[in-house]
């Protein structure tokens, strides 16, 4: 197998010849850039700026010196009075209290500073519990049923149907994902009523389970944040929840729209800031995406990706800043880091809702999406690193970075090992290709990637709520122990990359998650996971290979037949007349070369058109 890297376009072309036949397979892939090979010092500085918060500065600059001065003054310890080192080593000096005014003043200031710090300290944010919505079984949509629905719809041309088949084969989705009723109806019923119905089923289903699990009444909630990118009716989704649960009139409600698949972590960050400003409060975050009014019935391939990977789902999270809730809470929020690259036009336009050439609205995913996602991820983890990495890893990374960027030394970049900072990883299940590249660049094992891959297989890309399905999977496997650190990271349109770091406050046994009252979406199927996604897609791959292989074999057979004919004709003319033979062979070989070049170019165009399947919608 040969491989040619095209760095400018971040493409990889691979050609493989089969041993048992004359067929050749050409694959052109768009790669996620090696984002850890190049970082900017300003993002490292930003990370250290987050680490050097006011509490740390206050302790180092004020509290620690005052403590030492007060201790010396109150004890009367004077090291300059020690005349004999042997006496100091063999005889314990007698400390006499010297209750001077300086000592009393220092002790008073120290006490005041400590009290001030205690009163003004940031409130800890606790994740009491969370739930993920699991639709009814009648909403399940297998891969075969999805393709049948696509064929029977009548809105798609034959080549776009084949394109969706290939995307579905490589997407990593299983046979038990869910679609709303408005799409599966015959004919599809895409209207505001069906979209509202989908939103109500998802949000109310998740919230009912959350209130039941936690024992918190809807009237106790002081902050409500709902995020849904593509469906923003009037009244808003947050108002829909307030009306349904008859929440109190002074509730602080927010409705975030158009913020992509990373919006759940944006909501968590917003809830954190609000909870730190409002004592003894509960905050509920609802993350979902609405598919009914955003299903694309057109033939623009950049917009068809969303049909193939996005599925129905949602999650609800209960946060608290009450110290009394710490004992029953599952996690404590440690850090949130948000990265927004929207100042650059390529970043801003790579995920864009627009109309196609026939006026059909859809979400377009640009070819540059992988490169944009890699750049945003690089910035985010560079900022996050100083907050979470062990000191030794930070020193090695920082020294190498300074040598490369400041001293211009030609040394190999040091890639920090984030496995030393986290026990569990919840990476947004946007697509299999993105997960593959993130795993490669962060050097994660299959065990670390298992929650993301299995969530993609079982529930599909549920947009911003996918992170919570992944955390629910980790809990259902009984992997979360007290003190474990969890890293949630997601990408979103704009372009954004956001991270949240949690610390487990208690061990979550698997039996607790699998109980009927736990409402864990994996309760009825966790024993069947993990599965090998390759086995699931094997049948579709074989069907596609059979179809594409036949075309390649016909083309190659035609080429080799032409080459054999040219050789025979050339030998014949060579036997008669060398000059005539030479001219004839030259003309025919030039024609064959042009024909072969045209066929290869056609194949590359086909593969280039299929290239978004390897992007697989970071959204």
Highest mean pLDDT range out of 136-140, 403-407, 468-472, 567-571? 468-472
Has 340 been annotated as catalytic? yes
Does residue 101 register a pLDDT over 60?
Answer: yes
Question: Of 3, 18, 166, which Cα lies nearest the Cα of 553?
Answer: 18
pLDDT band at residue 619 using 50, 70 and 90 as cut-offs: very low
Whether the predicted pLDDT of 506 surpasses 90: yes
Of the residues 261, 308, 350, 513, only one is catalytic, namely: 261
Task: Read off the pLDDT of residues 262-271 as tens digits, 9 standing for 90 and up.
Answer: 999 999 999 9
The active-site residue, picked from 335, 424, 448, 614, is 424
Per-residue pLDDT at 542 exceeds 70: no
pLDDT, residue 87, reads 45
Question: Residues 572-585: pLDDT tens digits?
Answer: 444 444 455 456 55
In this prediction, residues 581-599 reach a mean pLDDT of 58
- Tokens (6 digits) for 396: 């090695």
Angle between helices 466-476 and 263-277 (to 10 degrees): 80
Q: Is the pLDDT of residue 273 over 90?
A: yes
Summarize pLDDT for 302-360 with one digit per residue, the tens.
999 999 999 999 999 999 999 999 999 999 999 999 999 999 999 999 999 999 999 99
User: Does residue 173 sit in helix, strand or coil?
Assistant: coil
Q: Which of 331, 333, 132, 322 is nearest to 216 (CA)?
A: 322
Is there a contact between 138 and 423 (Cβ–Cβ < 8 Å)? no
Catalytic residue among 461, 497, 513, 614: 461
Say if residue 589 is exposed, middle or buried (CB neighbours under 10 Å; 0-12, 13-18, 19+).
middle
Residue 88: its pLDDT value, please?
Answer: 44
Helical segments of 529-577, H only: 533-576
**pLDDT of 516:** 76
Is 448 marked active-site? no
CA nearest to 455, candidates 137, 203, 130, 174: 174
Distance CA 34, CA 5 (A): 13
Q: Residue 61's pLDDT is what?
A: 59
Average pLDDT over residues 459-488: 96
Distance of alpha carbon 554 from alpha carbon 551, whole angstroms:
5
Q: Can you give the pLDDT at residue 541?
A: 38
pLDDT over 60 (residue 553): no
Where along the chain do its domains lie? Answer: 2-30+539-615, 42-120, 126-531
Q: What is the pLDDT of residue 197?
A: 96
Active site includes 575? no
580 or 107, which is more confident? 107
List the single range of 11-15, 118-122, 229-233, 371-375 with lowest mean pLDDT: 11-15
Q: What's the rounded Cα separation, in Å, for the pair 206 and 211?
A: 9
Tell me the three-class secondary structure of 177-218, residue by residue: EECCHHHHCCCCCCCHHHHHHHHHHHHHHHHHHHHHHHCCCH
Q: What's residue 386's pLDDT?
A: 87
Mean per-residue pLDDT of the chain: 79
Per CATH, the homologous superfamily of domain 126-531 is: Thiolase/Chalcone synthase (3.40.47.10)
Catalytic, 498? Answer no
Higher-confidence residue of 356 and 59: namely: 356
Span 453-463, mean pLDDT?
96
Structure tokens at 617: 């919608």
């Amino acid at each position: 197998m040969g491989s040619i890297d095209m760095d400018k376009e971040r493409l990889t072309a691979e050609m493989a010849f089969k041993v048992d036949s004359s067929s050749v397979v050409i694959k052109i892939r768009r790669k996620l850039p090696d984002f850890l090979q190049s970082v900017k010092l300003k993002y490292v500085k930003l990370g250290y700026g987050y680490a050097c918060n006011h509490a740390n500065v206050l302790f180092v600059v004020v509290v620690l010196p005052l403590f030492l001065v007060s201790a010396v003054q109150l004890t009367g310890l004077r090291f300059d009075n020690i005349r004999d080192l042997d006496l100091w080593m063999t005889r314990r000096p007698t400390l006499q209290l010297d209750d001077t005014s300086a000592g009393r003043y220092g002790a008073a200031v120290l006490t005041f500073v400590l009290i001030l710090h205690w009163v003004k300290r940031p409130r800890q944010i606790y994740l009491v519990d969370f739930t993920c919505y699991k639709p009814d079984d009648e909403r399940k949509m297998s891969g075969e049923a999805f393709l049948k629905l696509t064929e029977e719809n009548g809105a798609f041309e034959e080549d776009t149907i084949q394109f969706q088949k290939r995307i579905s084969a490589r997407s990593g989705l299983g046979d038990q994902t869910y679609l709303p009723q408005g799409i599966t109806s015959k004919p599809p019923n895409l209207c505001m009523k069906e979209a509202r119905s989908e939103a109500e089923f998802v949000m109310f289903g998740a919230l009912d389970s959350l209130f039941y699990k936690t024992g918190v009444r809807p009237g106790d909630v002081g902050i409500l944040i709902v995020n849904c990118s593509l469906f923003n009716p009037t009244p808003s989704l947050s108002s829909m929840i307030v009306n349904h649960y008859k929440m109190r009139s002074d509730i602080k409600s927010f409705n975030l729209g158009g913020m992509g698949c990373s919006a759940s972590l944006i909501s968590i960050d917003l809830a954190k800031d609000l909870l730190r400003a409002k004592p003894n409060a509960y905050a509920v975050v609802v993350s979902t995406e609405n598919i009914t009014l955003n299903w694309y019935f057109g033939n623009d391939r950049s917009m068809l990706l969303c049909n193939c990977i996005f599925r129905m789902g949602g999650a609800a999270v209960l946060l608290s800043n009450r110290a009394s809730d710490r004992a029953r809470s599952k996690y404590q929020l440690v850090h949130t880091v948000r990265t927004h690259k929207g100042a650059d036009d390529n970043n801003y336009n790579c995920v864009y809702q627009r109309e196609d050439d026939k006026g059909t609205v859809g979400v377009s995913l640009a070819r540059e999406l992988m490169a944009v996602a890699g750049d945003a991820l690089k910035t985010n983890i560079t900022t996050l690193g100083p907050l979470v990495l062990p000191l030794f890893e930070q020193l090695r990374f920082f020294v190498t970075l300074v040598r490369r960027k400041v001293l211009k030394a030609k040394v190999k970049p040091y890639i920090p090992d984030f496995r030393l900072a986290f026990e569990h990883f919840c990476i947004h299940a946007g697509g299999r290709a993105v997960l593959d590249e993130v795993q490669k660049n962060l050097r994660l094992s299959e065990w670390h990637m298992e929650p993301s891959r299995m969530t993609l297989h079982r529930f599909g890309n549920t947009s911003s709520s996918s992170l919570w399905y992944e955390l629910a999977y980790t809990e259902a496997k009984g992997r979360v122990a007290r003190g474990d650190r969890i890293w949630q990271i997601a990408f979103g349109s704009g372009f954004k990359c956001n991270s949240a770091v949690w610390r487990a406050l208690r061990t979550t046994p698997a039996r607790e998650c699998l109980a009927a009252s736990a409402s864990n979406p994996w309760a009825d199927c966790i024993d069947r996971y993990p599965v090998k996604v390759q086995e699931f897609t094997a049948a579709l791959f074989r069907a596609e290979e059979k179809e594409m292989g036949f075309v390649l074999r016909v083309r190659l057979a035609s080429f080799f037949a032409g080459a054999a004919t040219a050789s025979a004709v050339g030998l014949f003319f060579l036997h008669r007349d060398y000059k005539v033979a030479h001219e004839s062979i030259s003309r025919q070989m030039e024609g064959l070369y042009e024909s072969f070049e045209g066929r290869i170019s056609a194949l590359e165009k086909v593969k280039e058109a299929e290239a978004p399947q390897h992007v697989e919608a970071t959204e």
